[in-house]
Amino acid sequence: MTKRAKYDPDKNSAGCYAAAIEAKRLRGDTHYPEPKERAPDPETERQLKRLKRALDRKLREA
C-alpha cells in the first residue's frame, strides 16, 4: 500500500483557483480579479531569521 501525501490546503486552494481562472478564460470571460499577495507568516519569518543567524555563525566559525 502506498503512503498518502499529507493534505496541503494552500496547495489545494491554489490549484482550485488556477482551474477556475482557466475555466473562465476558456468560456470567454475577460475580467477576473488579480491574485492577492499573502501576508508573510510571522512564525515562519522568525524561524527563517533564526536559521539565517545560525548559518552565519557556522560560516564565521569555518
pTM (two decimals): 0.38
Residue 36 CB-half CA count within 13 A = 4
- Asked if residue 35 lies in contact with residue 17, where contact means CB atoms within 8 angstroms, the answer is yes
pLDDT of 4: 75
User: What is the DSSP secondary structure assignment for residue 29, as one 8-state letter?
Assistant: -
pLDDT digit string, tens, across residues 16-43: 888 988 888 889 887 766 767 777 788 8
Nearest-5° Cα angle at 13, 27 to 51: 140
Residue entry with cell 508573510: 40
What is the sign, positive or negative, of the torsion defined by CA atoms of 28, 33, 37, 41?
A: negative
